[in-house]
């Protein structure tokens, strides 16, 4: 299966292909007006999860079109921000219609994370999340992401530094269960984060060692939800809107965020909202698929930010039609597309010939 979790777009891949003349210098875009508005925490207000390499501005706008109530950026290196690493600011490009937006940071040093929040606050950003769940070795080796779960005192120092720089209730923390089954951190770390002034928590109930293996243990979400006074967002194995509704009912989580479910089908948000209203989600059809792909291409074209947007879309578009015959040929054809017109023609011709109802 063409699972993007297994074959992620590498952030920076486009820049590497562009050549030195076109590579970006550090630039921190100001947050759009309205960035400080409230965050909804409710069963009928589904969030888009942070997705490194994917939850960029065009994809966030696409998900919002289908009803995502809040979007989280790709994880942003706190060090990259503080030391003005080229490309870091790119991850923060936004628009007024891309609100409310939560900026997710990763890092391991309290002073660097605090300083990153201070910088972002200065640029108008209002909502932050700290990544305490990424199990990718490159991140964990720096002591960041899920590695923080193995050092509760450091995790709390990072949390306090971020909260001190943001207004109360404006920082969330995204957790896994622990490094492994022998080193579980719940509920202790979660309760201490709540005491420290966390605005909300998100739990992806797998251990770091599990990566994406096995299944998400929703019972852990239910246990934590029963202990917390602040909102708890559920994450993990929410691959369809039906999964999301069931997870909320079974766990008592305040809200949820869709990750791989949204990557495979951004219209998952519309389906979630329909189910929340007690209605049946619209049946997927050829016209809806064409409209969704067309909208993503248009948003990437308008807001993708650089020539890299075309390269990225060449690898993203086939994922939406991965279940149709001939996708391999489509992928090969897209690889040869050198402009947006080529890409749109290739997609149109593929959809015309796919024999969709």
Ligand X SMILES: Cc1cc2nc3c(=O)[nH]c(=O)nc-3n(C[C@H](O)[C@H](O)[C@H](O)COP(=O)(O)O)c2cc1C
Q: Which residues bind ligand X (CB under 6 A)?
A: 4-5, 8, 49-54, 74-75, 104, 131, 133-134, 174, 204, 235-238, 259-261
In the complex, the smallest distance separating the C-beta of residue 357 from ligand X, rounded to whole angstroms, is: 28
Say how far apart CA 92 and CA 121 lie, in whole Å. 13
| Centroid of chain to Cα 310 | 20
Sequential DSSP letters for 57-101 = HHHHHHHHHTT-SEEEPPPEEHHHHHTT-TTTGGGG---GGG-SE
Alpha helices in the chain (DSSP H): 13-18, 57-65, 78-82, 110-122, 137-140, 152-165, 188-196, 218-227, 241-251, 260-264, 268-276, 286-303, 308-320, 327-335, 340-353
Cα within 13 Å of Cα(339), Cβ side: 1
Nearer to ligand X, 177 or 337 (CB): 177
In the complex, the smallest distance separating the C-beta of residue 171 from ligand X, rounded to whole angstroms, is: 14
The residues carrying an active-site annotation are 134
Say how far apart CA 279 and CA 205 lie, in whole Å. 29
Say how far apart CA 152 and CA 188 lie, in whole Å. 9
54, two tokens: 């994917």
Nearer to ligand X, 211 or 284 (CB): 211
3-state secondary structure of 275: helix
Residue 196: φ, ψ to 5°: -75, -10
Omega of the bond leading into 108 within 30 degrees of 0 (cis): no
290, two tokens: 């064409």
4-37 burial by CB neighbour count: b if 16+ within 10 A, else e? Answer: beeebbebeebbeeeeeeeeeeeebbebbeebee
Nearer to ligand X, 249 or 291 (CB): 249
In the complex, the smallest distance separating the C-beta of residue 257 from ligand X, rounded to whole angstroms, is: 7
Which residue from 146, 24, 33 is spatially nearest to 86, judged by alpha carbons?
A: 24
Nearer to ligand X, 4 or 12 (CB): 4
In the complex, the smallest distance separating the C-beta of residue 139 from ligand X, rounded to whole angstroms, is: 9
In the complex, the smallest distance separating the C-beta of residue 262 from ligand X, rounded to whole angstroms, is: 8
Nearer to ligand X, 257 or 347 (CB): 257
In the complex, the smallest distance separating the C-beta of residue 347 from ligand X, rounded to whole angstroms, is: 22
Nearer to ligand X, 85 or 353 (CB): 85
In the complex, the smallest distance separating the C-beta of residue 6 from ligand X, rounded to whole angstroms, is: 9
| Centroid of chain to Cα 268 | 14
Nearer to ligand X, 116 or 346 (CB): 116
CA angle 250, 254, 258 (to 5 degrees): 80
Taking the CB of residue 341, how many other CB atoms lie within 10 A of it? 9
């Amino acid at each position: 299966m063409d699972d993007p979790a297994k074959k992620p777009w590498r952030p920076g891949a486009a820049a590497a292909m562009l050549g030195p003349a076109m590579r970006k210098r550090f630039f921190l875009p100001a947050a759009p007006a309205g960035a400080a508005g409230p965050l909804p925490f409710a069963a009928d207000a589904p969030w888009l999860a942070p997705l490194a390499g994917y939850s960029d501005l065009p994809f966030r706008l696409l998900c919002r079109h289908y009803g995502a109530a809040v979007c989280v950026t790709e994880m942003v290196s706190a060090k990259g921000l503080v030391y003005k690493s080229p490309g870091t600011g790119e991850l923060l490009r936004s628009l007024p219609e891309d609100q409310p937006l939560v900026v997710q940071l990763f890092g391991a040093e309290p002073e660097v994370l605090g300083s990153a929040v201070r910088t972002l606050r200065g640029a108008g950003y209002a909502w932050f999340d700290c990544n305490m769940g990424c199990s990718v070795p490159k991140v964990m080796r720096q002591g960041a992401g899920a590695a923080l779960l193995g050092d509760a005192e450091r995790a709390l120092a990072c949390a306090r530094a971020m909260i001190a720089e943001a207004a109360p209730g404006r920082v969330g923390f995204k957790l896994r269960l622990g490094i492994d089954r022998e080193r579980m951190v719940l509920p202790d770390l979660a309760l201490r984060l709540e005491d420290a002034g966390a605005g909300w928590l998100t739990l992806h109930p797998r251990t770091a060692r599990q990566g994406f293996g096995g299944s998400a243990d929703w019972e852990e979400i239910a246990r934590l939800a029963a202990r917390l006074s602040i909102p708890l967002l559920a994450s993990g194995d929410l691959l369809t809107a039906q999964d999301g509704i069931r997870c909320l009912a079974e766990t008592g989580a305040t809200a949820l965020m869709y990750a791989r479910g949204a990557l495979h089908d951004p219209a998952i948000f519309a389906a979630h909202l329909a189910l929340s209203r007690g209605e049946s989600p619209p049946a997927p059809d050829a016209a809806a698929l064409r409209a969704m792909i067309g909208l993503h291409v248009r948003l990437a074209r308008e807001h993708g930010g650089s020539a890299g947007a075309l390269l990225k879309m060449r690898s993203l578009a086939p994922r939406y039609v991965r279940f149709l015959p001939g996708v391999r040929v489509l992928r090969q054809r897209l690889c040869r597309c050198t402009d947006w017109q080529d890409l749109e023609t290739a997609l149109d011709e593929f959809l015309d010939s796919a024999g969709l109802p």
